Amino acid sequence: MSCTAFCFDLDGTLTTTEILPCIAAELGVAGEIATLTRLTMGGLIPFEDSMRLRTLILGQVPLARVHEVIASVPMAGELFDFVRCNVDRCFVVTGNLDLWIAPLVEQLGCQVFSSRAILMDGMVRLESILVKDEAVHQLRASGRFDRIVAVGDGANDVAMLHAADLGIAYGGVHAPAGATIQAANLVIHDAGTLCKLLKAL
Amino acid sequence: MQIIEGAVIACAGLGSRLGMGMPKCMIEVDGKTLLSRLIETLQPLIPRIHVVVGYREELIIEHCSQHHRDVVIVRNPEFRTTNTAHSLRLGSVGMLRKVLYMDGDLIIEPASLENFVDTAVKIPLLIGVTRAKSSQAVFVSTREGDDALPESVGAFQRDLATPWEWANVFAGSPDLLVEGTRYVYECIDPCLPAAARALNLHEVDTPEDLEQAKIWMRSRHA
């Protein structure tokens, strides 16, 4: 029997808004971080550089407050339900930090591949930044799945979409980056349409 | 009864005979693109719609993001070296049993497509035919003879003209679209004779076809 794994980007795919600008609002720099996030998703700034910079800035917000903010970030309802119903074969693949997104991960209930950080003397210290195709390679090497589907919207999803058997550029929240479309097999603009297709695979 | 899981519209081709520098499905007739007309006709009849893009895909992706957010866009980056059968096969992702296939350069009278779909759910393969009028027609010989409305196709033929031609529409299994076949009708050919229904439609391949289609649209509204 065939078994398909589904890899989802988090920010702007499973969530209906980018998460980091929400955290930045705590420091009064939501607009600035949103701009940085947009440039990063568009591929104009390397993801690793941008993530280091954003971690440095947003690390000033107390972790408990970050968790409160993140717990209230809206999720794409139909996609959230799809993940909840298929937790054994759905995976969140995100450049965001494990330390920050823990409350969302708990809600979703599936395995997560993410960037890693630790709290040291009250400071967020970045340990590693996820290269997203690594998640696909690990899932393939596990031997559990004979097909891997990946869904994402940003420039940092390109490697993941390339590595997957079926790459989907998702434009439900905002238009997918040009490079993301070029790396994809499919382009889908609506959560309900995406779910209908995923269920048929 | 076997429901139609979805429709696949092939829009990847160059449309070089029309020479307008855009995919043919993006041509507007009476202020609406051919693609929008097809999607709006299909939506009440079919649960899922896939649009296969290639040549100038960005135009179609943008158009769908504005007007048809609930279609799935399937990319065929090899559109220059592959044919429509390949595009339709790519477009069948997630569809297993019965699919309605069509070219994106068609204007179809909604009522005739509705009748076609009604019949297609009852039989494994249904071929669309239309009154011969296009400049490079693939003619069909029908069992009913030239004067009657066709109910089955006996053969496809390029050389021997008949009053009916292949409409570039069929409903059947995705398995029919085999690798390496040049034309879609050649994929169906091994299944002949097969059931057919007449569709009232116009195909837009050349500037003359486009003029004919516009006149046809006006006559329908008159």
Q: B56 CB near a chain A CB, below 8 Å?
A: no
Has residue B202 got a pLDDT over 60?
Answer: yes
How does pLDDT run across A75-88, given as a tens digit for each residue?
A: 999 999 999 999 99
Closest chain B C-alpha to A142 CA, distance in angstroms? 24
In CATH, what number does A4-16+75-200 get?
3.40.50.1000
CB A99 within 8 A of CB A126: no
Has residue A1 got a pLDDT over 60?
Answer: no
Asked whether the beta carbons of residue B94 and residue A200 sit closer than 8 angstroms, the reply is yes
How does pLDDT run across B118-130, given as a tens digit for each residue?
A: 999 999 999 999 9
Residue B2 pLDDT class (50, 70, 90 cuts) = confident
* Stretch B197-208: mean pLDDT: 90
CA nearest A177: which of A157, A197, A194, A160? A157
Which of A26-30, B7-11, B84-88, B217-221 is least confident? Answer: B217-221
How does pLDDT run across B104-161, given as a tens digit for each residue?
A: 999 999 999 999 999 999 999 999 999 998 878 999 998 887 778 889 999 999 999 9
CATH fold for domain B6-221 = Spore Coat Polysaccharide Biosynthesis Protein SpsA; Chain A (3.90.550)
Q: Where are the domains of chain B?
A: 6-221
Separation CA B80–CA B55 (nearest Å)? 8
CB B48 within 8 A of CB B3: no
* Stretch B181-197: mean pLDDT: 92
CA nearest B210: which of B31, B68, B42, B28? B28
Q: What's the mean per-residue pLDDT of chain A?
A: 94
CB A40 within 8 A of CB A47: yes
How does pLDDT run across A145-171, given as a tens digit for each residue?
A: 999 999 999 999 999 999 999 999 999
CA nearest B68: which of B53, B54, B82? B53
**Residue B75: helix, strand or coil by DSSP?**
strand
User: How many CB atoms sit inside 10 A of residue A63's CB?
Assistant: 14
Q: Give the rounded distance of the alpha carbon of A161 from its chain centre.
A: 13
A197: nearest CB among B64, B65, B94? B94
Q: Output the pLDDT for position A2.
A: 63
Element (H, E) at A169: strand A166-170
Q: Where are the domains of chain A?
A: 4-16+75-200
Q: The tokens 């591949």 sit on which residue?
A: A113
Separation CA B26–CA B28 (nearest Å)? 6
Look up residue A78 and give its DSSP letter.
Answer: H
Closest chain A residue to B73 measured between Cα atoms? A187
H-state helical runs in A25-115: 30-41, 47-58, 63-71, 77-85, 98-108
ipTM, interface predicted TM-score of the complex: 0.94
Q: What percent of chain B has pLDDT over 90?
A: 74
Asked whether the beta carbons of residue A201 and residue B48 sit closer than 8 angstroms, the reply is no
Closest chain A C-alpha to B54 CA, distance in angstroms? 11
